[in-house]
Amino acid sequence: MVTNPIPGAGEVLIEVAAAGVNRADILQTHGHYAPPAGSSDIPGLEVAGVVRECGSHVRHIRQGDRVMALVTAGGYGEFVVADAASVMVIPENISMVDAAAFVEAACTIWSNLFDVAHFTSGETVLIHGGSGGVGSLALQITSALGATVLTTARTPERAARCTDLGAHTAWAYGEHVDAHGKSTFADALPTLVAQATNQRGCDIILDVTGASLLGANVHSLATGGRLIVIGMQKGATGTLPLGPLLAKRASIHGTTLRSRPREERARIVKGVTTDLLPLLAAGRIRPVVHEVWDMQEAARAHEQLLGGDVFGKLVLEPRW
């Protein structure tokens, strides 16, 4: 018989109703991204569900609350223990599925665009991978808050969906290839950005690709621009053009979310609660859910995500 985990001081026990699927889950299942020490071996970084038990010293969450939580692991389980400081009450008009699709992306966006890049209304923001789970929410958030939003997606159809979500300009990078089928998008990007920004460049670039666009991103920054790298989907080692980086007084930042100390994660969730949750509750933003899978079919959901045709997020529901 399997016993439920017991919440300690400052923790809550959540019965999982939905869990978001992230690339980190796939890496973990293949042995490439181990959970932090002391965390569950079960994948899953974000959940929505109902609080079944509260540990001592928990004040803002009560038993029976509908909540969403950022966790270090264990989201694919029937129950998960979460740090109460990384838990948010779900607005009444938001479903469990949408809540589960919101948490990790929202925390990634807030920690990078708000905390690191100090985003302000009126800036020009380029979001690579606008059809992804983070990108599709990031372009909605920045658009809702008054940014000029540029984005990239693989095909014209996916780019068009990005403009429907709020992007002012969306480029289909898959159309930029040479006669041998090799991508030429890195060569084209600085010119495309210059044309879209009246030669000014971008104040912020949020990048999931990594090495393949490193130089192009630096050339696409405005004076004082900030390049935030949050992924390495297209390579981990690239060439950095220092000349334009220095001339523009620009900066490059790299971040992760899962490995941060408890206090930092709690601060990020607080920022999301203050700055982004009201947008969700008001219907100004909404995570894009591509498909909902049975939790027991998580491996198939992972295969679908790796296939490259998912737009937005995949979510798992327990149908035990």
Q: What is the mean pLDDT of the chain?
A: 96
Residues 171 and 234 in one domain: yes
1 occurs within a structural domain: no
pLDDT of residue 2: 59
Residue type, 46: E
Beta bridge partners of 35: none
Residues 182 and 203 in one domain: yes
Residues 238 and 276 in one domain: no
pLDDT of residue 5: 87
What are the residues whose beta carbons fall under 8 Å from the beta carbon of 5, sequence distance 6 or more? 13, 79, 80, 81
5 occurs within a structural domain: no
Query: 25-69: per-residue pLDDT in tens?
Result: 999 999 988 888 888 999 999 999 999 999 999 999 999 999 999
110 occurs within a structural domain: no
pLDDT of residue 4: 82
Residues 78 and 156 in one domain: no
The CATH number given to whatever domain includes residue 266 is 3.90.180.10
pLDDT of residue 33: 87
Give the span between the Cα atoms of 169 and 244, in whole angstroms. Answer: 24
Decide which of 212, 234, 254 is a domain's last residue.
254
pLDDT higher than 80, residue 320: no
Residues 100 and 139 in one domain: no
249 occurs within a structural domain: yes
Residues 157 and 212 in one domain: yes
pLDDT of residue 103: 98
Whole-Å CA distances, 210 to 162, 171, 186, 217, 232: 21, 18, 12, 10, 4
Total domain count, the chain = 2
Give the residue numbers spanning the domain of 66.
Answer: 11-104+258-317
Query: 106-135: per-residue pLDDT in tens?
Result: 999 999 999 999 999 999 999 999 999 999
Q: Average pLDDT of 2-11?
A: 88
The CATH number given to whatever domain includes residue 169 is 3.40.50.720
279 occurs within a structural domain: yes
Contact 51, 14 (CB under 8 A): yes
Query: 140-171: per-residue pLDDT in tens?
Result: 999 999 999 999 999 999 999 999 999 999 99
Decide which of 206, 223, 254 is a domain's last residue.
254
Decide which of 218, 235, 254 is a domain's last residue.
254
Is the whole model's pTM more than 0.75, yes or no?
A: yes
4 occurs within a structural domain: no
Residues 146 and 220 in one domain: yes
Q: b or e along 226-255 (b: 16 or more beta carbons within 10 Å of the residue's beta carbon)? A: bbbbbbbebeeebeeeeebbeebebebeee
